[in-house]
Amino acid sequence: MKIKTGSLIWEISFPLAAVMTAVILYDSSLSVTVCFLSVLIHESGHLAVMRLFGIRPERIRLRLFDFAIIDRSKTLLSFAQELAVISAGVTANLLTAGICLFIPGNTASKLVSADLTLALFNALPIGSLDGGQALSLILCRYLSIEKALLAADIISVLTLIPLTAFGFLVLMKTGYNFSVLLAAIYLAVQIIIKDCKKRGK
C-alpha cells in the first residue's frame, strides 16, 4: 500500500497493515499501540534532522520488521551532520521518555518503557541499527573502508551472540516472549545477506 503526502511516499506492507489493524481492534491494554508510537517517534526524529539539513527523503518504507527512510538525493553531509541524522532517532526516543517521566498515567509509563527499550536496542552496534551505522561511520573516518566494514561486521557478530543468548533466556523464562530472539535472528540474517551481496560483487 502506498500513500503520498506531498513529495514523500509512504510504503506500508500488507503484513504490517494487518498487524496494525489487529492491534487497533484487540489491543485493549494499548501496549503494542504504544510500541508503534515509539517507532513513529524514532523515525520522526530521523526525518526532522534530515529536513533540518535540507534533505528531502523520497520515501519511507514500513514493513513488519523493517522501517527505512529512503533518500536518493545527492545532498552531501559533513561527518557531524551524518552522525546527527543517525543519532536523531535514539535522541527522539530518549527525549520523549524524559518528558513522559513527568506525565502521570499508565500510558505515559508504558511510553517511557517503550522509548527507552527502543533507544537502547537501536543504539546497539549491530549492522543496520543506528548504533551499527554510527560505528561504521566513525570507523570509516579513521580506517580504510575495507578495514572499517570488516571491524564493524566483527563487532556486530560479537554483540549478536549475547543478544541471541538473552533472547533464548527470555523465551525460556516467559514461555511465550520470543521478540528479542526473533529480532536477533532477523539482524543476523541481514548481516548474512549483506555479506553474500559483497561476495557476489
Q: Is residue 196 part of a domain?
A: yes
**84 domain-assigned:** no
Please check whether residue 178 lies inside any domain of the structure: yes
Per-residue pLDDT reduced to its tens digit, 152-199 = 999 999 999 999 999 889 888 888 777 788 888 888 888 887 777 766
pLDDT of residue 186: 83
Is residue 179 assigned to a domain?
yes
How distant is the alpha carbon of residue 169 from its chain centre?
Answer: 23
95 part of a folded domain: no
Query: Which residues are registered as beta bridge partners of 11?
Result: 2, 61
If one counts the domains in the chain, the total is 1
Position 56 in a domain = no
Q: Which residues contact 11 (CB under 8 A, 6 or more apart)?
A: 1, 2, 59, 60, 61, 62
Q: Which of 31-35, 49-53, 100-104, 124-128 has the lowest mean pLDDT?
A: 31-35
Whether 3 and 12 have beta carbons less than 8 Å apart is answered as yes
Percent of the chain with pLDDT over 90: 38
At 25 the pLDDT is 67
- State the pLDDT confidence band at 4, using cuts at 50, 70 and 90: confident
Confidence (pLDDT) at 158: 94
CA atoms of 74 and 184, how far apart (whole Å):
33
How far CA 61 is from CA of 23, 140, 160, 165, in Å, comes to: 20, 27, 25, 30
Q: In the chain, what percentage of residues exceed pLDDT 70?
A: 85
Q: Quick check: is 152 in a domain?
A: yes
Per the structure, the complete domain to which residue 158 belongs is given by: 145-201
Is 44 part of any domain?
no
Which residue type does 61 have? R
Residues 119-127, mean pLDDT to the nearest whole number: 91
Phi, psi of 2 (to 5 degrees): -120, 135
Cβ burial of 62 (10 Å; 0-12, 13-18, 19+) is buried
- Looking up cell 528479542 gives 180
